[in-house]
Amino acid sequence: MRALRCFVAAGIALLGLSAVPGAQPSGPVVYTAVIDGIIHPVAVEYVRGAITRADAAHAALIVFTLRTPGGLVDSTRDINNAIIHAKTPVAVLVGPSGNRAASAGFLIIVGEHDLLLGDSRAMQQRIAENRFALIRNSLHGTAVWQPEAFTTAVRDFLALVDTGQPVAGERVL
């Protein structure tokens, strides 16, 4: 159990890293950005800028924390396109607890060997209009363990949202 706690703490620490200008990273660099408010053209430029900086730094991942009640459909599509075309893998965290981002559907990404999540199928059954992606050979923190498969799952989901197709379904990567 102690080893599991250390593993979880290390994962949380990795996701909490932000790139420091001028610093030489000794390992993978993870960029972070917070979207706090309504989605509109200024938010689009903020997201594009964060992705551009992460791409230029060859970051291993960029994590957006999303705290929004929603916003303009065109701006949402522009953000989706920026994420789809990013060179850096992108993860989006809806938080803190109690926040939501439900207007476009819900993507559940689960590692095949995720011991922390519990019964992910039960979660899938309780959330309407969801897409379930199981990432093979991955633990909790699929964006770190299998970044290519994670990015593929997110891009596929965003492509469905962008075309207006139903997002419900399942994919194994």
Domain boundary among 51, 73, 103: 103
Residue 4 pLDDT greater than 60, yes or no: no
Domain shared by 88 and 123, yes or no: no
Lowest mean pLDDT among 11-15, 81-85, 102-106: 11-15
171: containing domain: 106-173
Residue 150: which of 15, 6, 7 has the closest Cα?
15
Domain boundary among 103, 119, 136: 103
Domains in the chain, number: 2
Residue 92 pLDDT greater than 80, yes or no: yes
Domain boundary among 46, 79, 103: 103
Domain shared by 133 and 85, yes or no: no
Domain shared by 66 and 111, yes or no: no
What's the CATH number where 78 sits? 3.90.226.10
At 134 the pLDDT is 84
In the block, which residue shows the tokens 């633990």? 139
Sheet holding 30-36, edge to edge: 30-36, 61-67, 90-94
Rounded CA-CA distance 143/61 in Å is: 8
The pair of structure tokens assigned to 47 is: 């997201």
Rounded CA-CA distance 80/160 in Å is: 10
Domain shared by 93 and 34, yes or no: yes
Rounded CA-CA distance 49/62 in Å is: 12
At 146 the pLDDT is 85
Rounded CA-CA distance 98/102 in Å is: 12
Which pTM value belongs to this model?
0.50
At 32 the pLDDT is 93
The answer to whether residue 83 is domain-embedded is yes
The pair of structure tokens assigned to 26 is: 């000794």
